[in-house]
Amino acid sequence: MNYVINGKEFRELLSADTIERAIGREAARIREHYANLDPVFVIVLKGAMFFAVDLIRAVAMPCTVEVLSAKSYGDAMESSGELRLSEISAVIRNRHVVVIEDIVDTGLTLKKILDQLKHQFPASVQVATLLSKPSVTKEQLELRYCCFEVGPEFLIGYGLDYAEQGRELKAVYALHRESAE
């Protein structure tokens, strides 16, 4: 099934079942790595909240949850280049941190987030992301837990949006074409 949002047609790229299986796989890896460590999961809002809830539930272990707001897209399909980050309130000094991101494309946002967190002296910082776009990445970052590598196309669904539309979709959709509407 295709979706039309704001005059653009999107086709399904990753089904809800495919996403669920990948999350289960990465959650098992996280659970094994952080057993008895009480990690801090830092969720990058707004997009990662859907992935984060499913991932943290699948990890099913004691943890602390914190949120961080990062905005760089606005209503466009490309990053504005201006990044606004909020501060996190949790104490992460000497704690193991897992940053949960919806998508890593250029890597510029994630690099700034990681730099900000490292100034708080955590024991370790790793990244869990639903999607990675290696063909457009400008920053070389280790994505220890990555569900899918995808191409450069614009994506919506499962937390990803186009001008705040499409986050609620249970699957991930790729831009297919401009709609005739």
Contact indicator for 15, 148 with CB cutoff of 8 Å: no
Distance of CA 175 to the CA centre of its chain: 18
CA distance 123 to 25: 24
Catalytic positions: 105
Structure letter (DSSP) for residue 132? E
CA distance 42 to 14: 24
b/e burial code for range 137-152 (CB count within 10 A of at least 16 → b): beeebebbbbbbebee
Tokens of residue 67, six digits: 């949120």
